[in-house]
Amino acid sequence: MRVKDVMHKGVDWVSPDTPVTEIAKLMQGHDIGCIPIGENDRLIGMVTDRDIVCKGLASKDFNAARAMARDVMTEGIHCCWRPSLSSVQSSHPPAR
């Protein structure tokens, strides 16, 4: 099985300054359990429903009304992608 066979297509990300309450509503509305966090065209983290509970709601002094993505996100996320065929062909023509 390949990653492309199971991955979710059309992923958007939010800023690290996005309120956690907004992230939770996005997760509920799209029936998903995580939201990528991006800044300056780079993936910098991920917020999962578990992050919101364990790093947020269950922690002492957590204020959901003031918490932002950066307060609960997991950093050090790795990603992969498959370049489009046209970009591969333009930079590396196929061997004949």
CATH of the domain at 65: 3.10.580.10
Euclidean distance between the first and the last CA atom of the chain, given in angstroms as a whole number: 28
* 3-class state of residue 72 by DSSP: helix
pTM as predicted? 0.73
Count of beta carbons in the 10 Å neighbourhood of residue 44: 18
Taking all residues of the chain, what is their mean pLDDT, rounded to a whole number?
83
Across the strands, what pairs with 47?
35
Q: How confident is the model at residue 81 (pLDDT cuts 50, 70, 90)?
A: low
* Per-residue pLDDT, 94: 44
Phi, psi of 11 (to 5 degrees): -80, 135
Which tens digit of pLDDT belongs to each residue from 16-75? Answer: 999 999 999 999 998 899 999 999 988 899 999 999 999 999 998 999 899 999 999 999
In terms of residue numbers, what domain contains 63?
8-79
Domain count, the chain: 1
Would you say residue 57 lies in a domain? yes
